[in-house]
Amino acid sequence: MKRRYAILGGTALIAFVLDQASKWLVMRTVPMHRPVEVIPGFFDLVNVRNRGAAFGFLNRSDIEWQFWLFLVATLVAVAAIVVLVRGMRDEDCVLASGLGLVLGGALGNLLDRLRFRAVVDFLDVYWRDWHWPAFNIADSAICLGAFLACIVLCRDGKKGERA
């Protein structure tokens, strides 16, 4: 098996398992909509459902089409990752890791959408009256993976300009 596929698959599997295990634990131990204070004035564990996307975009119970939109968006993202991985070099370990994080996170949130018609969010960061929208391990994996992929692609683009 080519190295890039092993890195992509292994990273995706780790992100997916960590995401699903953390959500399972939260659903079993944290009451719905009742925060558990972890760091007073800064961080709580919560058990909430997000029918929308990142940062609560389209998180509304009065519309049903957002489920289909996010389902299609996830499938398109998975297809794009497959195309990117097929065209990359085996030496691009950081890019494969980044894409694996995006893939694992996307699949973790997809499973939630298929099971619950919403994503389980549980990390709540805040300061006084300001709250960052609740998120989960999958969201973190997607953001970190996209950041890594962008760094590699920008770096490689600059190398191409110099050549």
Which active-site residues does the annotation give?
121, 139
Alpha helices in the chain (DSSP H): 3-29, 65-87, 93-116, 137-162
What letter does residue 55 receive in the DSSP assignment?
G
Q: How far apart are CA 60 and CA 127, in angstroms?
A: 25
Residue type, 51: R
**51 contacts: CB under 8 Å, gap ≥ 6:** 58, 59, 60, 61, 66, 67, 117, 118, 119
Angle between helices 3-29 and 65-87 (to 10 degrees): 150
